Amino acid sequence: MLPLSAQQRDMDTKGKKIILGSGSPRRKELLEGLGITFIVDTGNSFDEAYSPETPHEKIPEILAEGKSQGFHRKLESNEILMTSDTLVICDDHVMGKPHCREEAINMLRLLSGRMHKVITAVTVRDSSRMKTVSDTALVYFKQLSDNEIEYYVDNYRPFDKAGAYGIQEWIGYIGIDRIEGSYFTIMGLPVHHAYALLLEFIG
């Protein structure tokens, strides 16, 4: 049996400073799970907009790259910036974050009893290059009652979540029959892709 170290060591980033350009507590939690030392810096001038003609599957990539390019300052030669965007698509409806209680309830009614796609893109950039990877997962919800939907919205207030829900919260416990793909992509960061990209940029 291997002895346990007194303190877990973070991954060697070879002198590179990792910046997470997202205020999402879930992305912060997932990146921490990779054992990487990083800082959070959400300073950004990007307006999260895209052309109506944009193919739905490409929207998260465009927004993740836009957030990267809209970072509020120039990156130093030893810095690596990570940004991300998540989108929910159901019956050709593109669902971002709800702006109010009624919108959140309507989103969950649409998802109830159906399968939907969750697409999360992650962009990694340093001072000389940028790369984006996108990942898709399928989520199958059971038929949700109005009482269940309203209970969740009123108690968890999912106004910062695409599709008005977090898989790691109560609605995920009681409402999701099955998923196809990465659980972490649904949470908001495809960590397997994020890890591979960081290794590539760290060198």
Mean pLDDT score, 66-75: 97
Number of domains in the chain: 1
Domain membership flag for residue 94: yes
Domain membership flag for residue 63: yes
Indicate which residue of 12, 41, 47, 85 is catalytic.
85
Quote the domain boundaries for residue 41: 17-202
- Sequence-distant (6+) residues with CB within 8 A of 157 are none
Q: Which two tokens stand for residue 34?
A: 């990779």
Domain membership flag for residue 7: no
Phi first, then psi: what are they for 37, rounded to 5°?
-80, 130
Domain membership flag for residue 152: yes
* Whether 85 is catalytic: yes
Which CATH number characterizes residue 129's domain?
3.90.950.10
Domain membership flag for residue 3: no
Asked if 68 contacts 142 with a C-beta cutoff of 8 angstroms, the reply is no
Domain membership flag for residue 105: yes
**What digits encode the pLDDT tens for the residues 128-161?**
999 999 999 999 999 999 999 999 999 999 999 9
Report yes or no on whether pTM surpasses 0.75: yes
